Amino acid sequence: MEYDLRRCNLASPLADVRVPAGRTRAIAAAIRTGLARGDDPDNIEELIRCAGAAGLPLTLW
């Protein structure tokens, strides 16, 4: 029951269509990419936000 409620919450990692482990891998890859390119911390934060948001299910509102 609690799992289902958390999965419905779009802010929860459980709502990610890649499952939590896939979300973690995507964020880690974004960090590694930013560091390899020599990006500043603000740009790396943006990469992390984009990687986290990429797996969220689409909503109408």
Question: Residue 41: pLDDT band by 50, 70, 90 thresholds?
Answer: very high
| pLDDT class of 8 with cuts at 50, 70, 90 | confident
Per-residue DSSP letters for 4-56?
Answer: HHHHH-TTSGGG-TTHHHHHHHHHHHHHHHHHHHT--HHHHHHHHHHHHHHTS
The answer to whether the predicted template modeling score (pTM) of the entire model surpasses 0.75 is no
